[in-house]
Structure 1
């Protein structure tokens, strides 16, 4: 498949941080914007290490900086506590299309990075979030950290060609 936006890929959209109350509700940290969007993605796949299970969301709402959710089959505080630390994942196809000029991190990982002189710098292996801007972790002959600042360092992103063109000296 061209690009790296396969709709069958799992995307981490949150993490279960513990139980809420005594009736089996879980508290989750949401990586979505706004956080309450996490409740609308259904079903969830909960993953921790090699353990994976489907979780059907029955209801949920925002609660402070997190969301609280009632999951089918989770009826006690003990059952909810057992889910602490699980990542909440959904299929890439469940996410709305990004706005023009915006990208999901999962779509950037695996893209080839070349500079304006067509020198291959490597492949995006991760995208780090910093206070100012995201940073591409590019692995090639060595690891490079490239600021993901469109129009300055990032000149183009082409998901269909699996390629990012950057204004970057290969010596750095």
Structure 2
């Protein structure tokens, strides 16, 4: 899948200290995975600007970071509320058979009887296992939303990113 995605990984919440550091809320799991990326695209009010991350660490229940060119609390304050994004090309490659959630969103889901159950809208963490939220779409067998456990290989039988299809062992009546 060579399509480039703009992935939201966190946001800048406020200023930290007097040297231009910012407090960061991370959407990554674990939270400090966000600090692995050296260049952040900050999006604010429709504008985007790339910053080099010079340093970062855990601080209390969150993260703090130092960005190149941001050297005062006043400059840091201007970034408060900015979303932190990266290109999907910056993500590390995954082992065969593993996927990022954004790669699964939008796949059409078919059961073993080749009935289209819908499209993957999003995924949920439930503790025991992740769950695919499959919403009806054009050509689906009905207008029912389905929650399908993301269990490989017992429920999820095949994923074809190029074709945009996921094959599942899931009864249409569920």
The reply to whether TM is greater than 0.5 is: yes
Residue of structure 2 equivalent to 1:92: 88
Q: Distance in 1 between matches of 2:61 and 2:145?
A: 34
What's the CA shift string for 1:29-59, capped at 9, x where partnerless? 3344554332231321122463433222122
Q: Distance in 2 between matches of 1:129 and 1:82?
A: 34
Residue of structure 2 equivalent to 1:167: 169
| 111, 115, 138: which one aligns with 1:115 | 111
CA RMSD of aligned residues (A): 2.2
CA gap of 1:8–1:133, structure 2 versus 1, over 3 A, is same
Residue of structure 2 equivalent to 1:67: 63
CA gap of 1:22–1:139, structure 2 versus 1, over 3 A, is same
Instruction: Select between 91-100 and 59-68 the one with higher mean Cα deviation.
Output: 59-68
Structure having the higher Rg? 2
Where relative contact order (Cα < 8 A, 6+ residues apart) is larger, the structure is 1
CA gap of 1:83–1:129, structure 2 versus 1, over 3 A, is farther
Indicate whether 1:44 and 2:40 are aligned: yes
Residue of structure 1 equivalent to 2:102: 106
CA gap of 1:148–1:55, structure 2 versus 1, over 3 A, is same
SS of the residue 2:110 aligns to: strand
Maintained 8 Å contact 1:116/1:165: yes
Instruction: Select between 58-67 and 84-93 the one with higher mean Cα deviation.
Output: 58-67
Runs of 4+ in structure 1 off by over 6 angstroms are none
Q: Distance in 1 between matches of 2:125 and 2:45?
A: 23
TM-score with structure 2 setting the length: 0.82
Count of matched residue pairs: 168
In structure 1, the gaps of 5 or more residues are none
